[in-house]
Amino acid sequence: MPPDKLVMMANQIGRFFASQGEAGAADAIAAHLRAFWDPRMRRAIIAHLQQGGAGLDPLPRQALEQLAAETVAAP
């Protein structure tokens, strides 16, 4: 899946969770991506993030940074 499509999807998820309150939105976005996105999709968007993350809104960017940190910490 092309990065621009993944960015669009991540931003849509971000807007949804932001509308429910920004306090825990990044955690909720990360949980959603962990639960519902295929590992290949998560790897692709994390790779996009590591290349600058063009187009990502702040909350999805924050959630993806969490996921990227988890990926690095995993054995």
CA distances from 51 to 26, 41, 54 (A): 20, 15, 8
Q: Give pLDDT, residue 63.
A: 97
**Does residue 28 contact residue 39 with C-beta atoms inside 8 Å?**
no
pLDDT in tens, 12-35: 999 999 998 888 999 999 999 999
What's the whole-model pTM score? 0.91
Cα–Cα distance for residue pair 62/17, rounded to 1 Å: 13
The predicted structure's pLDDT at residue 73: 67
pLDDT at 22: 83
Q: What pLDDT does 75 receive?
A: 59
* Helical residues (DSSP H) of 1-75, grouped into ranges: 3-18, 25-36, 39-50, 58-73
Q: Are 66 and 73 in contact (CB under 8 A)?
A: no
Kindly report, residue by residue over 35-75, the tens digit of the pLDDT: 999 999 999 999 999 999 999 999 999 999 999 999 776 65
